[in-house]
Structure 1
Amino acid sequence: MTLPAALPTIRPLDPHAINRIAAGEVVERPASAVKELVENALDAGATRIDVAIREGGRALIRVEDDGCGIRAGELPLALARHATSKTDGADLLDIRSFGFRGEALASLAAVARLTLTSRVAGEEAAVIAAEGGRLAPVRPAALSRGSVVEVRDLFFATPARLKFLRGTRAEAQAIADVLRRLAMAEPFVAFTLRDLTEGERLVIRLDAEVPDLGDPREALRRRLRAVMGRGFSEGAVAVEAEREGHHLTGWAGLPAEARGAATAQHVYVNGRPVRDKLLLGALRAGYMDVLASGRHPMAALFLDCDPHLVDVNVHPAKAEVRFRDADCVRGLVVGALRRALAPLRPAPLLAEDLVEAARPEPLAASLGFPEPRPSPRAVEAAFRAQAPAFAEAMPPAAPWVTAPEPAPEEPDHPLGVARAQLHGNWIVAETAEGLVLVDQHAAHERLVYERLKREAARGPVPTQALLIPLVVEMAEDEAQRLADAASDLARLGLVLEGFGRGAVALREVPAALAGADGAALLHDVADALAEDGGAGGLQRRLDAVLASAACHGSVRSGRRLRPEEMNALLREMERTPNAGQCNHGRPTFVALRLQDIERLFGRR
């Protein structure tokens, strides 16, 4: 072994170097700086927070609040590392504020040009400046109340960090996302974001909500509507559950209105926005049975618990947490979501999309000309001219009107009463408020799936033996997967055994799937086992198999149904949990209200 010519010397780093190194952990990009400064304002009790940026936060970040302020004599200490007013360090689990490490302001002062102006009620305002970690003396200033923090030339002291920032627009968007995420949990605080890059542009304006004494959560719902949109507010279902000191509230979007990216998933722990793997994994698990592959639900979930049950001091940016009882929290989230999503509900955004897609475009507008509008006098003259013709065509009025025969079922059920079947696949039902269009195959697929799950949970699934075992030839890897899972499949009513290389003999099938195509069923079950890959545990593997099996036992597209069969399908949908989506996450029905139909024909 070759020794170095000279032993390296251990020596302490320069304080400025230490601050710049620490700043790299706390302030990763301009959005991180905004997050830290806004959280400080919230900890100060602010009811109004104004943020202004320039060039995506590189050139300027200014955060102004009306909080309690900082005394003039404590301003230098506020820019020192590990100096904070939020904890004495005796119990790092009893954290009831956003900040507690005392690193944010010191980190920003180390890598940027920072100015902190503050005023405490009843005292004079003061200002302190820092550049690259070097502090200037405290000076008198003019300020009515609260604090103003200006950060200019971010990362000028660490130029290498600038090379890793994204474009101005991307950084500005990240800042807006951070501010919206913080604002969602603080409905009684007003937020604004202005971009000063080219003139002045108001990006976000969220007024403080007024408390609702009748429903304390209504203010939060209004704030979520302002941030996430009307579609989420109206279509989401309320979530509320409690277990062993953990209280979960919030709203979950319907599966039919999921998105292609996980950008609308917001999880909070004691009011703190987090990107925790446990909670986001539990969110996905709660939608496992009702969401299409590649789709991501919209949700805003708020978990509150005693601070001693969760450790927030595990990540420099405080984006992750650790729960004392992780299994309890995961079970709480998954169970609450499944219960909330189980009842049958129409998806309002689907109805709006259908109306917009089917709305006819006026011919004149499609040609690029303004739509002709007759004058009121012309319309009146046309009505007078048409009146005699209408009168001659109308039959004479009867002295009384005979009531029609009552329908076998009245349309007072949630899914109404079936009136027609279109193209052998779509059931049209009349409801008290409009009509419902049902995909008979998708709906029955969910019903069969839930029935198979109930039977599997109760014990051995009722089976039907095949008179002659069905020998199915397939690829060797598919046959091997089925053979390896034979004992698990037998619990689900699929009794099979190997039949040489690349072949499987099917002997029994679940009674609910009697008459299904056995060969296609086995191929799909093998595919389901391959897609799962064994990563989700036994129950997930079994559910994937049952979902594939249910597809083969459901009503096929093109089959004509009698009225009593269609109504029986609707009634069973109303009794079955998760009947609003098929096994693949697609919607099983679309509900149109009368006002939606009137909009379709231009009556509204």
Structure 2
Amino acid sequence: MTTARPKLRRLSHHVIDLIAAGEVVERPAAALKELVENAIDSGANRLNVALLGGGTQRIEVSDNGCGMTPDDLLLAVERHCTSKLNDEALILISTLGFRGEALPSIGASARLSLISRTPDSDTAWQIRVEGGVITPPAPVAGPVGTRAIVEDIFFATPARRKFLKSPRVESNHAEAVMRRLALAAPHCAICFTLDERTIFDLPPQKPLERAQAILGETDALCEIDETRNDMRLTGFICGPACTRATAAGQFLLVNNRPVTDPVLRTAIRVAYRPVIEPGRQPVVALHLRLPFDRLDVNVHPAKTELRFADEADVRALMIGGLQRALGHGAGQGGQKIRFSPSRSNIRYPARDSAPEDALPSATPERPLAGARMGPRPDLPQGGFAEQFAGFTPSARQIASPNAPPVAPPAADHPLGAPVAQVLDTYIIAVAEDGNLILVDQHAAHERLTHERLLAQHAEGRIRAQRLLLPEVVDLTAGQAHALLTHAGALGELGLEVEAFGGSSVLLRTMPALLQGGDGAALLRDLAEELAEDPDLTPGDSGAFERRLDAIVSRMACHGSIRAGRRLQPEEMSALLRQMEQTPRAGTCSHGRPTWLKLSRTELEKLFGRIR
């Protein structure tokens, strides 16, 4: 039996328009994006955007741009007609739009009305397109600029309409689009309303002010400005203490174009991975500028995905720039609060500067509930002298309630002066501006130890100390094999191990920075991690190197001050001063915050003084 040969036929223009419309306008937020991009490209500096039903009922975008003549309106709703593309090689594309598809696609699937007036015209003109059917322009009243109204979206494509989500979900997508576009055009005043509820009403702003308004983080933004091979990365990022559950707080621009490019998002994730908790997402507003000939924006009709001529170069700029911005000591970068309340009335009793070996050993002591003020003569001195050699803290300490008052700590000590230790775990300090600082002593010291271990490893080898009595550690056969397989690499980390019969191993040395730590517990944890990591194979030094940060993190955790360890004022001060000088000290090795700041405003809210 012969199957009938299918017959080729030419699709009608109406079907072609509907197919194309499905690519360009996949939901109301996509139509909104195209209309607002047109408004920005028109040179407008004021936009009013209003949606009903998440855009499923009505989308209205008004601008004060250059406007269009009747002939322009007729061409604007015809496919592949545009005033923005002067380079037929599709290289020098400086506008948000350029394909000439948006308005015809919207008109093919919805009821579109355009009202526009040029500055030299006595009247405005209106054109209508409903399901692809065009009504010629007619004169109407209207101000200079363009007003676009979209109603009953997808009425001409019922198959697409039934897949729309609830108005609330569509509203969320529309709001996300508007926030990205508002960030791309800080020079524009933008008023955005949803169901007659104002979401934001922004005047023309500086980039920092617009970023603060869009991100909602007015106090935690750190500026970034990096260059590499004719590329420039600018913008603002939040420190590792400010994260969100999703990537909704990541706003990316490339040559002023809002994008959701996977290359850039991966670079952000890699840069933040060592300093935030797993599963959390950083908050950033970044703008990448690069030559037009090193970028292809004609990848998808939505124009949110890109192709870079050199992805590796872009990733290097992003990761390196972000890591340098995150490499500040505690109290700088994303942790810095710009709010400046009046000076606190707290006075600091005088005391000599803390000694260089002020930090305590890692041996935990019995926890003591409550807060503890002043010195503790029953506690031992020193213990971490090598780790903090060459550092001289200068903040004033509390000595006794009767000591004479002195001025608050200097402004270059953003973590302030310690005044107490609570629950033998948390340090309370007061900053120069009167803000209250809370420090988790174990998390903070863990990061300091982590960075010192990495620095020694970068110099060639972590300094080790031979144990007076080598420790025998009993493991499973698989764990012992994994540990001994990487004995050479572990030796470079200061852990000298060797077989000791059966599934036991002998630990001969420990890193000097971890003096006093539990070597057997550390070795068991490392053996378990190495045995369960499928990417680590015998002889694969590269895979072990990629795991280096996590391995050093585990070592730092075992060698740090524990929660419940009582500290003297000198020890607390030395810890704060070193945090201010150590990269990435805003979070511990596991991504948890090492310190928190409560401003006067936040304290007054807690006590109900203000709302």
TM-score between the two structures when normalised by the length of structure 1: 0.82
| Mapped pair 1:462 → 2:447 | no
2:414 aligns with: 414
Q: 2:390 maps to what in 1?
A: none
Query: By how many angstroms is 1:510 displaced?
Result: 1.9
Counterpart among 88, 91, 107 of residue 90 in structure 1: 88
Match of 1:137, SS state, is strand
Aligned to 1:226: 213
CA deviation vs aligned residue, 1:194-215 (integer Å, no higher than 9, x gap): 344xxxx1333423225xxxxx
The aligned amino acid for 1:590 is: L
Q: What is the letter of the counterpart of residue 548 of structure 1?
A: R
CA distance in 2, matches of 1:409, 1:510: 40
Q: Give the counterpart letter for 2:11 in structure 1.
A: L
Which amino acid in the other structure matches residue 589 of structure 2? N
- Residues of 2 paired with 1:45 and 1:28: CA distance? 26
Partner residue in 2 for 1:47? 45
Q: Is the 8 A contact 2:87 2:93 kept in 1?
A: no
1:75 is aligned to 2:73 = yes
SS state at 2:136 partner: coil
Residue 83 and residue 456 in structure 1: after superposition, are their counterparts in 2 closer, same or farther (change >3 A)? same
Contact map agreement 2:192 2:201 (CA 8 A) in 1: no
Residue 97 of structure 2, aligned match among 93, 96, 99: 99
Task: Choose which of 576, 583, 586 in structure 1 pairs with 2:589.
Answer: 583
User: Are 1:414 and 1:431, in contact at CA under 8 Å, matched by a contact in 2?
Assistant: yes
Aligned partner letter, 2:177: V
Secondary structure, aligned partner of 2:16:
helix
**Letter aligned with residue 524 of structure 2:** H
Q: Which amino acid aligns with 2:466?
A: A
Q: Describe the superposition over 1:178-234 as per-residue Cα deviations: whole angstroms up to 9, x where unpaired.
A: 1121112212212223344xxxx1333423225xxxxxxxx12222222222xx121
Alignment partner of 1:267 out of 226, 248, 252 = 252
Q: Structure 1 CA distance, aligned partners of 2:314 and 2:38?
A: 28
Instruction: From 302, 305, 309, give the equivalent of 2:287.
Output: 302
Aligned to 1:202: 197
Where does residue 110 of structure 1 map in the other structure? 108
3-state DSSP of counterpart to 1:136: strand
The whole-number CA distance in structure 2 between the counterparts of 1:224 and 1:66 is: 23
CA distance in 1, matches of 2:605, 2:114: 55
Tell me, yes or no, if the aligned pair for 2:108 and 2:130 is still in contact at 8 Å.
yes
Alignment-derived partner of residue 425 in structure 1: 425
Residue 150 of structure 1 aligns to which amino acid in structure 2?
Answer: I
1:378 is aligned to none
Aligned residues: 538
Whether 1:329 aligns to 2:314 is yes
Per the TM alignment, residue 468 of structure 1 is displaced from its structure 2 partner at its CA by: 5.0
1:369-388 → structure 2 map (5 Å cutoff): none
Q: Deviations over 1:358-416 (max 9, x none)?
A: xxxxxxxxxxxxxxxxxxxxxxxxxxxxxxxxxxxxxxxxxxxxx97569998333333
Partner of 2:490: 489
Moved more, 4-13 or 75-84: 4-13
Q: CA deviation at 1:154?
A: 1.1
Contact 2:219 2:338 in 1 (8 A): no
Structure 2 residue matching 1:455: 3-state secondary structure:
helix
Q: Structure 1: any 5+ residue segments left out of the alignment?
A: 211-218, 353-402
- Asked whether the 8 Å contact 2:85–2:93 carries over to 1, the reply is yes
Query: Closer, same or farther in 2 for the Cα pair 1:594/1:49, shift >3 Å?
Result: closer
In structure 2, the CA distance between the partners of 1:527 and 1:156, relative to structure 1 (3 Å rule), is farther
Moved more, 431-440 or 80-89: 431-440
User: Which residue matches 1:384?
Assistant: none
Confirm or deny: 8 A CA contact 1:351 1:590 kept in the other structure: no
Q: Deviation of residue 349 (structure 1)? A: 9.9
Distance 2:101 2:126 in 1: 19
Match of 1:235 among 220, 235, 244: 220
CA distance 1:44–1:473, change in 2 (3 Å): same
Give how far 1:601 is off. 6.3
Amino acid at match of 2:22: G
How big is the shift at 1:82? Answer: 1.5
Percent identity between the two aligned chains: 46
Offset at 1:503? 4.6
Q: What amino acid is the match of 2:68?
A: I
The superposition leaves residues 115-134 of structure 1 with CA deviations (integer Å, 9 ceiling, x where unpaired) of: 22222222343222222223
In terms of mean alpha carbon deviation, does 269-278 or 527-536 score higher? 527-536
Cα RMSD between the aligned structures? 3.0
Q: Residues 13, 246 of structure 1: CA spacing in aligned structure 2 closer, same or farther, 3 A cutoff?
A: same
* Equivalent residues of 2:299, 2:306 under 8 A apart: yes
Contact 1:534-1:541 within 8 A present in 2 as well? no
In structure 1, the residue matched to 2:299 is 314
Aligned residue for 1:189? 188
Does the Cα contact within 8 Å between 1:87 and 1:95 map onto a contact in 2?
Answer: yes
1:277 aligns with 2:262: yes
Structure 2 gaps, min length 5 = 340-400, 537-541
Moved more, 34-43 or 461-470: 461-470
